[in-house]
Amino acid sequence: MSSNHPDKTCARCGRRFSWRKKWERDWDDVLYCSASCRRQKVGAADRAREERIMSALEATTSKGLPLHDLAVDTDEVEFLRQAARRLAVGGRILMFQKGRPVEPRDIHGPVDVALPPSRSKCRFRIRG
Ligand SMILES: [Zn+2]
């Protein structure tokens, strides 16, 4: 048995999680941090939240947006946070707290989101 188990990123909530003994047989196949995340696989509503975040960032003229401003109500904030984590882990957005970039998988509390510099206002780059 290897003692070297790199952390993983949950496919549902985008949080970082670490190896545990209960997963020793199938760690390679583990995608979700918890039973709750495994039950709530990413669905159409979640993809729509990701697209809402992307559209808002592409439409804004400011450098970034407070993520909670994009939630339709307080019940949605955590779902939106998960969507933002998935986008950030995929490199599509950046997350900031108090103006500083943060590791998206470990954030707690209010967060701002922004497009990565290379993407801002240059969505279709044509190469010769
Ligand atoms: Zn999770």
Q: How far is the CA of 76 from the centre of ligand 1 (A)?
A: 16
Cβ–Cβ < 8 Å for 37, 13:
yes
Q: Answer whether residue 89 shows pLDDT above 50.
A: yes
Helices (H), 60-124: 77-89
C-alpha of residue 81 to centroid of ligand 1, in Å: 12
Q: What are 11-50's pLDDT values in tens digits? A: 999 999 999 999 999 999 999 999 999 999 899 999 999 9
Domain spans, the chain? 8-39, 44-114
Cα–ligand 1 centroid distance for 127 (angstroms): 38
- Ligand 1 centroid–CA 116 distance in Å is 24
pLDDT of residue 127: 53
Please tell me the distance from the alpha carbon of residue 40 to that of residue 38, in angstroms, as a whole number.
6
CA of 128 to the centre of ligand 1 (A): 42
Q: Give every CB contact of residue 86 below 8 A, 6+ residues apart in sequence.
A: 11, 14, 42, 46, 50
Residue 114 CA to ligand 1 center (angstroms) comes to 23
* Per-residue tokens: 85: 């984590």
Rg (alpha carbons) of the chain, rounded to whole number = 16
**CATH number for the domain running over 44-114:** 1.10.10.10
Cα(80)–Cα(111) distance, integer angstroms: 11
Q: How close is the Cα of 82 to the center of ligand 1, in Å?
A: 9
The pLDDT confidence band at residue 128, using thresholds 50, 70 and 90, is very low
